[in-house]
């Protein structure tokens, strides 16, 4: 039982470590995207034409994932607004 508990603790520590690595990876990617956004004077990150050389090919999947999350968040916001409007129209 002790070995199993120790293994579970290690797994938790490893998960925490890799979560931090991924968070740092996202932060670094966003930093590059924001620099590109600022340099071309765009208001929104999705308007930026991020070059592979500037961002790094390994960062493009992160950029795509972040845009997908943004799309989902935006859709949730639109759905909530639509739902609110429908509730306000009902007698």
pLDDT for residue 35? 84
Q: Is 90 helix (H, G, I), strand (E, B) or coil?
A: coil
pLDDT for residue 20? 92
pLDDT for residue 50? 65
Look up the pTM and report it.
0.49
pLDDT for residue 19? 92
Residue pLDDT tens, the chain, 91 long: 779 999 999 999 999 999 999 888 878 878 887 888 888 888 887 777 766 566 677 777 877 887 888 889 989 999 999 888 888 776 6
pLDDT for residue 16? 94
- Mean pLDDT estimate for the chain: 83
Q: Is the dihedral of CA 30, 32, 33, 35 positive or negative?
A: positive
**How does DSSP assign 20-67, residue by residue?**
HHHHHHHHHHHHHHHHHHHHTT-SSGGG----HHHH-GGGHHHHHHHH
| Pair of tokens at residue 88 | 């306000």
């Amino acid at each position: 039982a002790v070995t199993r508990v120790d293994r579970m603790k290690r797994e938790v520590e490893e998960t925490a470590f890799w979560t931090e690595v991924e968070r740092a990876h996202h932060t670094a990617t966003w930093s590059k995207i924001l620099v590109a956004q600022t340099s071309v004077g765009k208001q929104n990150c999705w308007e930026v034409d991020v070059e592979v050389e500037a961002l790094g090919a390994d960062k493009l999947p992160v950029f795509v994932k972040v845009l997908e999350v943004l799309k989902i968040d935006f859709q949730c916001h639109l759905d909530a607004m639509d739902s609110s409007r429908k509730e306000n129209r009902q007698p």
